Amino acid sequence: MLEDLFDRRHVLAAGAGLAAAGALPGQAPAQTGGTNAAALPPRGDYVIRGAQVLTLEHNLGDFPRGEVRIRNGEIASVGIRVNDSGAEVIDAAGMICMPGFVDTHWHLWTSVLRPVMRLDDPDYGYFPVTNRLGIHYQPSDSYRAVRLGLVQALAAGVTTVHNWAHNVRSPAHADAELAAMRDTGVRGRFSYGTPQGAANDQPMDLADLARLARDWNSAEGLLTLGMCSRNVGDDPNPLRGSVSVEMAKKEWGAVRELGLPITLHTSGPSPIGLLDAAGLLGPDVQLVHPLLTTAEERAILRERGTKYSTSPIGEATRPAAAGVIQLGELLESGVKVSMSIDHTTTANCDCFACMRMLYALHQHRIGRRIPLTTRRLVELATIDGAHDLGLDRRIGSLAPGNRADLILIRTGDVNLSPVGDPYDALVSLAEPGNVDTVMVDGRILRRHGRFTALDHSGVLAHARETVDDLRARANWPT
Ligand SMILES: [Zn+2]
């Protein structure tokens, strides 16, 4: 029942959105992947005025005091002065205007599990909790958890999220996660995975992935589809899920026939040699957690065009390689790297802190031997993430013709003022609370630090309800 998935107000709004999106009459959002677009603010015609504009575009450079014109979701022009005829002016004096952050790996479905997880108790760590409660997820839990994570992302200035969905328990669960992505107005990729508790020799639901690919609803170009693979090769952690090379060949082959990209954790023993010997690496593969690669493996990755995503907050605490995030080595080797949040159960969504962590660990271990600037870190968190997701000609920089995904950051706040070099300020001083305005595809989703349309308190209430239900269903000790 649809009412089980969404509250009544949502259903009514979703119906209106479906009409606008041209969905077939009589089909419900959960079946079509229809969007709640009616509840999202319209794409306007804006001029952002008076901001310090960081375009992250080498040909354009930055503007200490510049303007950005946005029309119908697109960046129309950027400069010291732009044509403002007919546009609504957004006064951004005292703010930094920059591309929104691009996350490249995030297990959004876990977001509601915060009250159950513990950072300092392994029995209540990420893997035991996600395994024990993940099997009890209903589609409505997936919807509410993904929505909670995305609301947090937007509040922190993250405009693109790669939803690493490794608990797709049924087609309805996939549809629910996608509905949550569409309803929040975020840009992103949905990477389809196997459910928690699946046996390692049980194939993933390739038929359902093919269904999604065939009937794909991109929410007006905002969403793309991919596949998240289980670890490949023997993994000593039985809770992570791993498949043989033969199974990987079969699954990856089917995914590639659909033209979809693949993502894979390298949390256990390095699979790079194994994958390369099997002919599986390529530019359509993203690896996650660059902790233990050898120089030889990095050369292979550069050769194959395979990318890496680093999630610094979690990686810094990994017992196997704590603090050895190989950002410097990868950049030196010519391997493309991007930045990710991973999850927000025992870590916050804070791209500023992620950049700070990467800088600190790099300085601690490598220092000036491989120079790393604060501007380079901001690139990592924006344009390099867009490249990882195949979106670098659409987002990640403020270039005319790009889609308008951007954020305004208040530099008058006490932790930033008086502001100096903007890149240094972003990496060493800023925090999510400084994000004033968030625009995705020309829609202003947040203004003055508040959501413009989304029912924020409703999202939080539903998240609490969901985790309480999950605990009850699992007979979780209180
Ligand atoms: Zn992960």
Cα–Cα distance measured from residue 175 to residue 139, given in angstroms and rounded to the nearest whole number: 8
Q: How confident is the model at residue 478 (pLDDT cuts 50, 70, 90)?
A: low
Cα–Cα distance measured from residue 19 to residue 459, given in angstroms and rounded to the nearest whole number: 24
Query: Residue 89 forms beta bridges with which residues?
Result: 47
The answer to whether 141 and 180 have CB atoms below 8 angstroms apart is no
Q: Is the pLDDT assigned to residue 51 strictly greater than 70?
A: yes
> pLDDT above 90 covers what percent of the chain?
86
Per-residue pLDDT, 318: 78
Q: For residue 476, give Cα distances in angstroms to 130, 131, 132.
A: 12, 12, 9
Which one-letter amino acid corresponds to residue 142? S
Ligand 1 mean position, distance from CA 361 (Å): 20
Nearby residues of 109 by Cβ (< 8 Å), 6 or more positions away: 134, 137, 142, 145, 146, 149, 165, 166, 167, 177
The answer to whether 106 and 422 have CB atoms below 8 angstroms apart is no
Ligand 1 mean position, distance from CA 427 (Å): 23
SS3 336: coil
Greatest alpha-carbon pair distance for the chain in Å reads: 62
Q: Is the pLDDT assigned to residue 21 strictly greater than 90?
A: no
Per-residue pLDDT, 379: 98
Nearby residues of 31 by Cβ (< 8 Å), 6 or more positions away: 175
Q: Is the pLDDT assigned to residue 6 strictly greater than 90?
A: no
Q: Is the pLDDT assigned to residue 31 strictly greater than 90?
A: no
Ligand 1 mean position, distance from CA 25 (Å): 38
Ligand 1 mean position, distance from CA 105 (Å): 6
Mean pLDDT of the 271-292 span: 96
Ligand 1 mean position, distance from CA 376 (Å): 23
Q: How confident is the model at residue 151 (pLDDT cuts 50, 70, 90)?
A: very high
Ligand 1 mean position, distance from CA 197 (Å): 16
Ligand 1 mean position, distance from CA 450 (Å): 29
DSSP 405: -
Q: Tell me: the pLDDT tens digits for 296-345?
A: 999 999 999 999 999 999 998 877 676 689 999 999 999 999 999 999 99
Ligand 1 mean position, distance from CA 357 (Å): 17
Ligand 1 mean position, distance from CA 318 (Å): 12
Ligand 1 mean position, distance from CA 315 (Å): 10
Ligand 1 mean position, distance from CA 14 (Å): 31
Per-residue pLDDT, 440: 98
Ligand 1 mean position, distance from CA 272 (Å): 17
Q: Is the pLDDT assigned to residue 38 strictly greater than 70?
A: no
Per-residue pLDDT, 192: 98
Cα–Cα distance measured from residue 379 to residue 261, given in angstroms and rounded to the nearest whole number: 22
Mean pLDDT of the 186-206 span: 97
Q: What is the DSSP string of 105-174?
A: -B-GGGGGGTTT--SS-GGGSHHHHHHHHHTT--HHHHHHHHHHHHHHHHHTTEEEEEEEE----SHHHH
Ligand 1 mean position, distance from CA 188 (Å): 16
Ligand 1 mean position, distance from CA 438 (Å): 25
Domains of the chain and CATH, by start = 46-97+402-451 (2.30.40.10), 101-388 (3.20.20.140)
Query: Residue 343 forms beta bridges with which residues?
Result: none
DSSP 345: S
- Phi, psi (deg, nearest 5) at residue 294: -95, 165
Per-residue pLDDT, 5: 44
Ligand 1 mean position, distance from CA 288 (Å): 7
- In terms of phi and psi (left: phi > 0; alpha: psi -120 to 50; beta: otherwise), the region of 290 is beta
Per-residue pLDDT, 36: 54
Ligand 1 mean position, distance from CA 457 (Å): 28
The answer to whether 49 and 68 have CB atoms below 8 angstroms apart is no
Ligand 1 mean position, distance from CA 300 (Å): 22
Ligand 1 mean position, distance from CA 127 (Å): 11
Nearby residues of 421 by Cβ (< 8 Å), 6 or more positions away: 374
Per-residue pLDDT, 10: 40
Ligand 1 mean position, distance from CA 13 (Å): 33
Nearby residues of 228 by Cβ (< 8 Å), 6 or more positions away: 164, 165, 166, 191, 192, 193, 262, 263, 264
Q: Is the pLDDT assigned to residue 33 strictly greater than 50?
A: no
Q: Tell me: the pLDDT tens digits for 89-125?
A: 999 999 999 999 999 999 999 999 999 999 899 899 9
- DSSP H or E stretch at residue 436: strand 435-440
Ligand 1 mean position, distance from CA 136 (Å): 20
Ligand 1 mean position, distance from CA 116 (Å): 18
Ligand 1 mean position, distance from CA 35 (Å): 27
Ligand 1 mean position, distance from CA 340 (Å): 9
Cα–Cα distance measured from residue 233 to residue 275, given in angstroms and rounded to the nearest whole number: 9
Ligand 1 mean position, distance from CA 267 (Å): 9
Ligand 1 mean position, distance from CA 424 (Å): 28
Ligand 1 mean position, distance from CA 417 (Å): 35
